[in-house]
Structure 1
């Protein structure tokens, strides 16, 4: 069996690359000859490919028309394709066509399943949460409470909003904010550049996935301030590393984090600031959320189960 995973921006260290690499590893272990191609770089499919797993319905569309036409495919919904693109005049018809003609739609949580069933009631939907490997890390001792925000710098991640929210805490010496991720939209980088000279804020730039572990080890809490998410790899990584997560209360995040059980949900900039202060002041809550997070990923996000379940569906499609 020859499979291909078509991931947008695969050559950049972003969430889609992490997901693609994990699925590649799992499906390969399940016996499939699997390749990963970057759909936004127009990397051709290997000869003999039997089925394509395309990430992001809109970004996959042009690639499929150029390289995969006629092949069966699965669409993996990554968030903005359904939360945003589906509802625009320009991109909506493209998303609809790709979803309607897919063999199956793969989503990460039940919220997105409901969205798909609302607009495409006849489609087969596979709800399969992203997987992650559990690796609890001890905290590196620091004289300042460190907040970590791993995300590519683009509008939907609202990095500037997070910086604005936490600036009072940083300037007062209460926290340090660490940013890590590539610049995807220059205009968004311009919003945070003026603050990078301040002592409380650090941006590492793009970091290879193999080096991210050390950044998680240095932090006290991981935040996600996105306006839209499918299911954040960074949030799951934080939980697997045993770091408390404070995340914006949007469907993709709320599908993973249960408030005060395995993380914190908040609304708006003031909510982010309050969540960070709460965690800084309450070490017992930090430990409670750490334990809850590790339990969640152990129970619901096992890499071997993810690959086996997906492979069973693929075999059924190709039979």
Structure 2
């Protein structure tokens, strides 16, 4: 089967990494999967122009119901969608976007949520039938010691980027770095004392899962997307404010037993709940269902 896969593919982002991994699952089952950046298309008409190619496409897949899923509304192909996180956490607050996402979800053969919380939110806000949404977590891939915080990643939001750069200039021990390849990021993680996730909105953070797999402690903001994978004091530490972040960081620095426990449990959690093989089987089965009656 030839599958069109739409996603936001800004280089060296979590979305790009996730899309490439899912694409490899689909192709390992013998399908052809053409991964395209949703930003290339303005409307379903542009997508239909691509679909007219020979040999024809027989199904489609999209990550993020609004950014990519809306482009499939008028195509005459069976398709499935994957919640991106911001679609359920943020875009549902905009009535026009919510209405579009409801249409996408109604027309989709299936939808995939990374966490139980995302699935529940989708059922509430998008009036979706629970049976259509499948749950599939992502798989991946001492005192007075000077500590530094390195913020690493691409500049996606110009306004937020300007705010962060301004704050960093006024702060000692905080540095900005450009995006890096996944291999370079993993190498940096291994040399770090901890990985911090400060997002205010998450679907499922690949960086958190990768850190756990690499046996690096995780400090994450206490939001639903992060709390779905980080159990406080078991697989990592959660914080709710700047003061709480400092407190939890000091605990991690001073309590060797705590550090060893969250590292050990984090590794076990990823191996048990974020199996690459299970993820591969799920997407292969769902893609096969696009061609069934």
Partner of 1:127: 135
Question: Could you tell me how far 1:317 is from its partner in structure 2?
Answer: 3.2
1:177 partnered with 2:164: no
Q: What is the SS of the residue equivalent to 1:228?
A: coil
Question: Could you tell me how far 1:249 is from its partner in structure 2?
Answer: 1.3
Instruction: Quote the Cα distance in structure 2 between the aligned partners of 1:299 and 1:61.
Output: 30
Check whether the contact 2:212–2:267 (CA below 8 A) recurs between aligned residues: yes
Partner of 2:255: 282
Aligned pairs, number: 280
* Structure 2 stretches lacking a partner, 5+ long: none
Partner of 2:183: 210
Question: Could you tell me how far 1:197 is from its partner in structure 2?
Answer: 7.5
Instruction: Quote the Cα distance in structure 1 between the aligned partners of 2:39 and 2:86.
Output: 16
What are the Cα deviations for residues 202-259 of structure 1, in whole angstroms up to 9, with x where unaligned? 2111212232121112211111111111101111111111111111111111111111
Instruction: Quote the Cα distance in structure 2 between the aligned partners of 1:38 and 1:216.
Output: 28
Partner of 1:315: 288
Partner of 1:24: 23
Partner of 1:101: 107
Question: Could you tell me how far 1:59 is from its partner in structure 2?
Answer: 0.2
1:298 partnered with 2:271: yes
Question: Could you tell me how far 1:196 is from its partner in structure 2?
Answer: 4.0
Partner of 1:114: 120
Check whether the contact 2:83–2:112 (CA below 8 A) recurs between aligned residues: yes
Question: Could you tell me how far 1:286 is from its partner in structure 2?
Answer: 1.2
Aligned residue among 258, 265, 275 for 2:238: 265
Check whether the contact 1:40–1:63 (CA below 8 A) recurs between aligned residues: no
Instruction: Quote the Cα distance in structure 2 between the aligned partners of 1:252 and 1:214.
Output: 25
Instruction: Quote the Cα distance in structure 1 between the aligned partners of 2:254 and 2:191.
Output: 18
1:251 partnered with 2:259: no
Question: Could you tell me how far 1:293 is from its partner in structure 2?
Answer: 0.7
Larger CA deviation: 25-34 vs 114-123:
114-123
Instruction: Quote the Cα distance in structure 1 between the aligned partners of 2:241 and 2:171.
Output: 23
Check whether the contact 2:59–2:77 (CA below 8 A) recurs between aligned residues: yes
Instruction: Quote the Cα distance in structure 1 between the aligned partners of 2:171 and 2:91.
Output: 36
Q: What is the SS of the residue equivalent to 1:191?
A: helix
* Structure 1 stretches lacking a partner, 5+ long: 134-143, 146-171
Instruction: Quote the Cα distance in structure 2 between the aligned partners of 1:122 and 1:229.
Output: 23
RMSD (CA atoms): 2.1
Larger CA deviation: 242-251 vs 191-200:
191-200
Partner of 1:229: 202
Check whether the contact 1:52–1:74 (CA below 8 A) recurs between aligned residues: yes
Instruction: Quote the Cα distance in structure 2 between the aligned partners of 1:113 and 1:131.
Output: 17
Partner of 2:162: 190
What are the Cα deviations for residues 133-178 of structure 1, in whole angstroms up to 9, with x where unaligned? 3xxxxxxxxxx99xxxxxxxxxxxxxxxxxxxxxxxxxx8742001
Instruction: Quote the Cα distance in structure 1 between the aligned partners of 2:185 and 2:205.
Output: 15
Q: What is the SS of the residue equivalent to 2:148?
A: strand
What are the Cα deviations for residues 69-123 of structure 1, in whole angstroms up to 9, with x where unaligned? 1111111101111111112123221111111211111100111111222232425
